Structure 1
């Protein structure tokens, strides 16, 4: 009869299933084995080759199991120490009983000596026979009582010795268990330290991957926003905060995303001072055009000569603010860039600051403004 493998989902004979999924020698591509932490209670079955991923994903669970095991071992050690104290107390009691027995035996030997002396004296003197016999009887009764006490004490001592022997054996076992507990505790501590080190290493790897992902996302967003037709449409969001930063001097200017005149053309961007620059500082918005260093500068014509149109869009589509200029071929702003970008060139008096707040215009709407730059791409 055929059955389906729960790991790889193939069908095979029931008798072949155990061999197929065997950890050693099995041919199942998704066969599993017990987690490396099964000795402390983890029952997860881990796919071969996925041990590291499992250790990372189950790190908190493994740490909880290790903590529980260490706590159990600690309780066992405390219990063992308490039993050792009880055994030492019992040893002391048995030693005291042995001392008492020795004292009774000493007294018994003295009584027996007195009895023998009395018997010898009775044989020498018949006149005092009655007195000696009475004394001998008293001594004989006392000896019988002492012997009876000795029998009882002997029984107690035998019982105590048996208990002590059992306790000694228990102490030896407990000592072995304690050593095992200490060894296990050391191993568990080493495992926990190893697991923590692995978790920290994985955290570092994840952090690096997060940074790399953020850089990729930023690059992708930049590419999505990049145009290759010589036209930049720049959305300036969070406008009020950026304007406050410009007024306070914290961030006097901001750069736009870069754009190109073609896929192999000039690399360009815009730069705006929301509280003005130079002659326009504190009274105008200053808007500039920047030629940047590109990958294809070696095959382009220099200096840059294309007409540039700068626009601040009225979002009610009634009256845009527009200025245009043709580059000065003698200006370093339009020569081939030697650094990342040339000195910005444009309009320091592009738009009066009070124009931004005109109620009949919507140069800023919902805390967003739009700037447009158009580069003439004819004859490039």
Structure 2
């Protein structure tokens, strides 16, 4: 990650603590051979995108990955720097050291968090996330009141316009109580039962162009019997005329075929007669001289060769016909197999699409359930916090604050991890002032390191408009001696001119009280039980006698 974007408590940071690239407080500092310091992510970006050229002014030295090394000394110095929360401008009051920043940000109410709903890119303070998820997010999952399908709130309106389970009314017959899916079947031209559906006349192919409601069809048939008969007569006459025309064409074709057959038969007879005549001439010419005999023999040889060639061609044709028949059989078998495989592939593809649709539906349901569970977890956490607050809240102006695990909290205060923390809120009455206490176990201001500092805080309440301002009630502090010997007490009356006691304009006013409430050395007294069983008890009493 790039450097820490925070504000130091002591003013501006020393330049040696700042990244040469991003200019922020160094995170995982690395030092280059040229002596400049970068964040871990910044030096990786420098080498990847800038060719390793150092960004320091008037430097420009090329940095190699193997030449960069961690700067642990600077890192230790940075981790103990006192800072404010990076969300201080948004209202976070946390103060600590860099070492504990990431831990604090993981639970800071003012940290910006991206909405968990798919499609929503909004970033919201953690304390406002629950309200955003429940009512403000346009992508929050909502359930359709008709089909119970879960859809983003942004798309709910469009879904309702196409929801198959949405109630609709038939525009033709005004029938109510139908769903959109039932309406499609109700108005189907072939199988629908809507009595007001517009249908075509059954004599449409005869020439009737009338369209009427389904319930009006019997009456239409009665009124148009004469017209339908006339249309039928015209249609039959047209059919008869066409049939006669086709019959005449067939007769003409038959006569033409007969004439052609006669001509072919005559041509065949003429060819046979010529063949016989030639054979007769050949046989009558055989007794003639040697020259004539040699010519006839040559002619016979040629005829015999031609006959041989013809027979050979016939054998080849027969063989090819056999092969063609075989191949046609093979092709037919292959075609059947291809058709069978195609049918199987189509069936598999349909099944795959159905399975994919089922999987996508289940995935949507799982995502929806995960979002619902996240919302429930947030709501439960808020409810637990609300219940805990209610259990510890008092309405009589008296706060009894039990600080458990005192040793650890004291150590955190000394190291600066958690310098102070607040008590649960309490009230002077159900509609009275809202208040709390703030304690510094290692002191604050004049008492830092020597005393426990205890302060009183006026908070913004729901009924501030009904109360008297500024706050004027006497406030008493008491550190309870759990051995019942000697309690430590202190009290003060609010200064009406102090901003700490004016009507709050934010969640709480500036704390005011006793920076020197009790010396730290007194807590360790063996004769008193100010800290017993690692627990301290503090009581804050607000005088309500004049309210």
TM-score (norm 1): 0.54
CA distance in 1, matches of 2:367, 2:377: 15
Mapped pair 1:254 → 2:396:
no
> What does the per-residue CA deviation read over 1:333-361, in whole Å, with 9 as the maximum and x for residues that have no partner?
22222332222111101112233333443
> What is the SS of the residue equivalent to 2:468?
coil
Structure 2 residue aligned with 1:302 = 469
CA distance in 1, matches of 2:370, 2:443: 45
How far 1:193 moved relative to its partner? 2.2
Pairwise CA RMSD of aligned residues?
A: 3.0
Mapped pair 1:215 → 2:382:
yes
Query: Given the alignment, which residue of 264, 280, 283 partners 2:447?
Result: 280
Mapped pair 1:346 → 2:513:
yes
How far 1:206 moved relative to its partner? 1.6
How far 1:167 moved relative to its partner? 8.2
Q: Which runs of 5+ in 2 are unaligned?
A: 1-145, 151-321
How far 1:203 moved relative to its partner? 0.6
CA distance in 1, matches of 2:525, 2:331: 102
Mapped pair 1:266 → 2:433:
yes
Q: Which runs of 5+ in 1 are unaligned?
A: 1-48, 54-153
> What does the per-residue CA deviation read over 1:187-240, in whole Å, with 9 as the maximum and x for residues that have no partner?
212321221122112211220121022112211221221111000111223333
Alignment of 1:118-129 (within 5 A): none
CA distance in 1, matches of 2:483, 2:337: 93
Single out whichever of 351-360 and 203-212 deviates more from structure 2.
Answer: 351-360
Alignment of 1:217-236 (within 5 A): 217-236=384-403
> What does the per-residue CA deviation read over 1:300-329, in whole Å, with 9 as the maximum and x for residues that have no partner?
222222221111222232232211122223
How far 1:162 moved relative to its partner? 9.8
How far 1:241 moved relative to its partner? 2.8
TM-score (norm 2): 0.38
> What is the SS of the residue equivalent to 2:532?
coil
> What does the per-residue CA deviation read over 1:64-85, in whole Å, with 9 as the maximum and x for residues that have no partner?
xxxxxxxxxxxxxxxxxxxxxx
How far 1:289 moved relative to its partner? 0.8
Mapped pair 1:325 → 2:492:
yes
CA distance in 2, matches of 1:167, 1:223: 82
Distance 1:340 1:174, change over 3 A: same
> What is the SS of the residue equivalent to 2:391?
helix
Alignment of 1:3-152 (within 5 A): none
Mapped pair 1:189 → 2:356:
yes
> What is the SS of the residue equivalent to 1:374?
strand
How far 1:261 moved relative to its partner? 0.7
Single out whichever of 211-220 and 170-179 deviates more from structure 2.
Answer: 170-179
How far 1:279 moved relative to its partner? 0.5
> What is the SS of the residue equivalent to 1:215?
helix
CA distance in 2, matches of 1:286, 1:170: 93
Query: Given the alignment, which residue of 323, 327, 346 partners 1:179?
Result: 346
